[in-house]
Amino acid sequence: MPKRPKSFSAKSIDPCKLLTKEQQQRLGLDREPSMNTEGTDKHGNYGCSYLRSRSKPSFSYLAVPVPQEGADEWLKGTRAVEVKHVTVAGFGAVTTQLGESDRSCNTVVDIADGESLDIQFTGVTKGAFTHEQLCEKSNEFAELAMQNLMKQG
């Protein structure tokens, strides 16, 4: 991973405050962000859901700060997913997908040594998004989120 412009502790990130109201509207979201009440990843970390469900195509974003694992874990080749190295707001990151039939893409941003911010985009309306568009959407959210975190200091 490239040198990050700044480090952030995953535990200090409120995943429901990653985007401004204006940014949520720009992304087409039509529901207030809501914190999940159960762990949403293999480590039991909580995430925040951002939804568009009142109009089609329906989609969702899930933002999960992960204090137990850096984005570089995905580059080790030990997971059955397609992985691509990307840059998000100057931070090293990876996109991960299960394959062509998958309706989601994750952008995992390297925020500190051994820590990451995982943004998942899911196209709920079947066939509404191409394989590439899924990752474009997760990257777009991740870019906005990291820009906002940088502004907050």
pLDDT tens per residue across span 27-63: 999 999 999 877 667 888 999 999 999 999 999 999 9
**Calpha distance 107→142 (Å, rounded):** 7
Q: How confident is the model over 64-81, as pLDDT tens digits?
A: 999 999 999 998 888 878
What is the count of structural domains for the chain?
Answer: 1
**What per-residue confidence (pLDDT) applies to 89?**
97
The one-character DSSP state at 76 is G
pTM over 0.75: yes
**What average pLDDT does the chain have?**
93
* 71 within domain boundaries: yes
Residues with Cβ within 8 Å of residue 112, at least 6 apart in sequence: 4, 7, 8, 9, 10, 70
* 147 within domain boundaries: yes
**Calpha distance 128→137 (Å, rounded):** 12
**Calpha distance 38→135 (Å, rounded):** 25
* 90 within domain boundaries: yes
Q: How confident is the model over 121-134, as pLDDT tens digits?
A: 999 998 899 989 99
Domain span at 94: 10-152
